[in-house]
Amino acid sequence: MSYFDAASAAPLHPVARQALWAALDDGWADPSRLYREGRRARMLLDAAREAAAEAVGCRVDELTFTSSGTRAVHTGVAGALAGRRRTGRHLIVSAVEHSSVLHSAEVFEAEGGEVTRVPVRRTGAVDVESYAAALRADTALACLQSANHEVGTVQPVAAVAEVCRAAGVPLLVDAAQSLGWGRVEGDWALLTASAHKWGGPSGVGLLVVRKGVRFAVQGASDERESGRAPGFENLPAIVAAAASLRAVRAQAEQEAVRLRELTARIRARVPQLVPDVEVVGDADRRLPGIVTFSCLYVDGETLLHELDREGFSVSSGSSCTSSTLTPSHVLRAMGVLSEGNVRVSLPAGAAEADVDRFLEVLPGVVAGVREKLGAPMPTAAVPQAEEVVVDSLGKRCPIPVIELAKVIGSVPVGGRVRVLSDDEAARLDIPAWCEMRGQEYEGEEKVEKGTAYLVRRIS
């Protein structure tokens, strides 16, 4: 089995496993106690904090261990907003942030705050000018991920941090995907991360709050972790997380070169091997191991199941997965195709032979899924009418797009197709299909049971 979903959770690093077992023997006691076992546990906790702080590039007393990366985000956002309540009740986030950041923003809005969601380019990157324009006198906090979790695009954190700093606004950086590869550059104020993203055990997050940042802990707290993460520390997991972060960093530069070569091979070969594919995300400013592409006329859930049968574990931001009926908010914000979306995220040590086998298997898998769904085949259709209505109400992706593709040849150049659909994914996938196929998307109209999407044939 080839595991290609490291962006969700990286396999446990051997160093993490060794450190975890050792800490289970020596780090079980309460590190706040003064007896021998407690002092031994405190030494392990202090050493782990020093190692993590060195990797982040912060002071030891600025770093808190939390129970997860999500908890670190929730605590960091809430604490920074509360600490700067007198400044105002305005929060800035990008449209492609991790759901933990967006959920924090939704809670803030529900409590009466105002949120500006900065759009992104088609590559998934924000414009620094957009962040600068969003800043206001009452802005309490800005948030920006260091790199996107779905498409791998690296964000201009240092430049955004500079404009935020000039405006006196702290910037919180979600560094979950990038911290294993290196420090986050720039004058950021808060940072969060998650150990299971770099090969540490799950259940350990990092929250860094720079000295001088106004921060007010929300909810009940105790004396542990500066009051920012109440409860008994999971010391063995913390020790393993810090040890594995140091280990992956030692190999990061060399491994990044190797993984970039493998993902570049995937980015180049997939469009050559599989027709009607869009590779998404920035081609250059990206994390080493992530490559994402979307296939027209393919059910994302079925595609993932078929790849699983062939021995490949991959993930998807497609709307057609068992966990959601709406397109990925990242793909939607980018304005790219969501059908048949596949994210390949290679773990450290991924074998070149496995990548080559993936490229061998993929064309047949996609073709098989398309055949089952009745995807259109190239034909010389004779134009029949100036306008054709496609009734796809009650049908889920990618059926509305498949039916559009089948009838576009039945209208003359200049003619129009009206696609009726009540699937939210159509709002993203029909315009994306038009861009890929060289047709004109004219917009949408509300109809009784859904939406009519208007497509004009121009070629």
Catalytic residues: 320
Other C-beta atoms lying within 10 Å of the C-beta of residue 94 = 28
Question: Which tokens belong to 217?
Answer: 């802990």
- Report the number of secondary-structure helices (H) and strands (E) in the chain: 12, 16
What would the 3-class secondary structure string for 345-414 be? Answer: ECCCCCCHHHHHHHHHHHHHHHHHHHHHHCCCCCCCCCCCCCEEEEECCCCCCCHHHHHHHHHHHHCCCC
Residues paired with 66 in a beta bridge: 205
Residues paired with 418 in a beta bridge: 389, 454
DSSP E strands in 401-449: the ranges are 416-421, 440-447
Residues paired with 83 in a beta bridge: none
Distance CA 336, CA 317 (A): 11
Q: Is 202 exposed, middle or buried (0-12, 13-18, 19+ CB in 10 A)?
A: middle
Backbone angles phi, psi at 419, to 5 degrees: -100, 115
Distance CA 285, CA 156 (A): 9
Scanning the structure block, which residue is given the tokens 């600025």?
A: 62
Maximum Cα interatomic distance, the chain, rounded to a whole number of Å: 88
Question: Which tokens belong to 360?
Answer: 């061998």
287 in helix, strand or coil? coil
CB 432 within 8 A of CB 336: yes
The residue type at 56: V
| Short-list 31, 78, 41, 46, CA closest to 209 | 78
How large is the C-alpha radius of gyration of the chain? Answer: 24
CB 84 within 8 A of CB 215: no
Other C-beta atoms lying within 10 Å of the C-beta of residue 222 = 11
Q: Is 431 exposed, middle or buried (0-12, 13-18, 19+ CB in 10 A)?
A: buried
Distance CA 418, CA 439 (A): 13
Distance CA 280, CA 337 (A): 9
Distance CA 142, CA 413 (A): 48
